[in-house]
Structure 1
Amino acid sequence: MTEGKACPDDLRALVSRADRDDLRTAQDILIQCILREDGADRRMAVLDTLRAELTRDDQAGISSPEQRAFHTVLLSMIERTRTMAGSTAR
């Protein structure tokens, strides 16, 4: 479904649509991105890269309040997934 560079691109497309019904899809994409990686360190690196790329997008400007809200929730999902992935690595 989601390969390499497609992860952030797929997530950006969902932010652009800003449909709250897409939050489940966003979580599925996020999980697929990290499950392709072996080991906690590589999974954390993927999450860090996604967070950095999406944060840059925010700094570039998001046009609508709905997009900003979706983007904020998506960054929170990444943080929560990162926290959970880190806790299972111990």
Structure 2
Amino acid sequence: MAIDTAQVKHVARLAKVALNEQQLPRLVSDLNAILAFAGRLQDARLDSLSPMAHPLDQTQPLRVDQVTETDQRTQLQAGAPAVSNGLFLVPKVIESD
């Protein structure tokens, strides 16, 4: 699918983008190059490929899953206006009928 100058002018008018006549040939050429590149994705040879999470064949280095901080709940809740059973109490903000 190729784009011509008339289509670019039409879309530019709809998008309220100001184009001058000197920019137009370059823009048409660039848009057609983009569409040609996107058209390569329709190649039948790509149907057998499985999706990849990353383009490089690498593994994610993971750290050891261990607790690194101490429990500070009582110290953090000491300055709270209202606490019950280890939970912060807050005013009700949604009322139901």
- What TM-score results when the alignment is normalised by the length of structure 1? 0.30
| Higher relative contact order, chain-length normalized (CA < 8 Å, sep 6+) | 1
- Greater Rg by CA: 2
Name the structure with the higher helix share.
1
